[in-house]
Amino acid sequence: MFLVPSGIFYSCSTCGESVSLGEFDLIDSSITNWFPYINEDQLVFVNQHDEEITLVLKDRDLTKTQVSYRETCNEGFFDSSHEFYHADFFHTQYSAEYQGDQYKLDMYLYVNHINDLSQLTLYDQVTYNSGVYRSKDEPGVGGTVSHVASYRGVQIPNTYFEFLNWVEHSDSVEIRGKTYQDVFYFLRDGVPSLYVQKQKGVIAFAGFDGELWTIQ
């Protein structure tokens, strides 16, 4: 059995230090238009039977994270370096239990980048997730809507954003007798299961058995 002194890994290092590309904040309009959850501790929804459910804040994380942009050197497990940046990462989660079912809403807003471009091209991305769960053995009901919250002043073709292919858009949608303008939604088996509107966030989500909950 041969033992290799730990110091030998450092003496053979050729990659050098990782490099910071800077610190980036979310654009103010991204927060105003797509993340109305900074100070909300609960969200109230009503279904078509006028039953009410209150989803209570379970997690709020408004921080900066270190995001790797690209690897610049890799000489094995013990020697690598990359370019990275520090950027805003906002996350809130609301949940509730109602009639034995578990309800959960997750919202994310963060600075992201385009991997396929040689230069650091940033944009702000927002993602909304809904989920209703009955048991571990039964599939839940949910949806995901992701959108570009801000292009940060750069012209980026939408072909770079694969997540846009999974989101539907309508100029006008009627939900339980109320009309909403400029709505993004997710289709589950051909039926909308999550509705999102600018400046309001999640306006409706689906539950089991055709149930639809709308924001109050």
Spell out the per-residue pLDDT of the chain, length 216, in tens. 434 344 444 445 689 899 999 999 999 999 999 999 988 999 999 999 999 999 999 999 999 999 999 888 998 777 889 999 999 999 999 999 999 999 999 999 999 999 877 788 999 999 999 999 997 777 899 999 999 999 999 999 999 999 999 999 999 999 989 999 999 999 999 999 999 999 999 999 999 988 999 999
Contact between 101 and 133 (Cβ < 8 Å):
yes
The confidence score (pLDDT) of residue 79 equals 82
CA 191/CA 216 separation, integer angstroms: 22
Which H or E run includes 96?
A: strand 80-98
The confidence score (pLDDT) of residue 6 equals 42
Helix, strand and coil content of the chain, in percent to the nearest 5, comes to 10, 55, 30
CA 18/CA 16 separation, integer angstroms: 7
Residue 86 CB neighbours (<10 A): 17
The confidence score (pLDDT) of residue 115 equals 82
Strand partners, 108: 91, 127
What residues does each domain of the chain span?
23-65+82-215
Contact between 94 and 104 (Cβ < 8 Å):
yes
The confidence score (pLDDT) of residue 138 equals 78
The confidence score (pLDDT) of residue 153 equals 93
Cα atoms in the 13 Å half-sphere on the side-chain side of 81: 10
Q: Phi/psi of residue 110, each to 5°?
A: -160, 165
Cα atoms in the 13 Å half-sphere on the side-chain side of 71: 8
For residue 162, the 8-state DSSP code is: G
Closest-CA residue to 26 (of 84, 87, 73, 113): 87
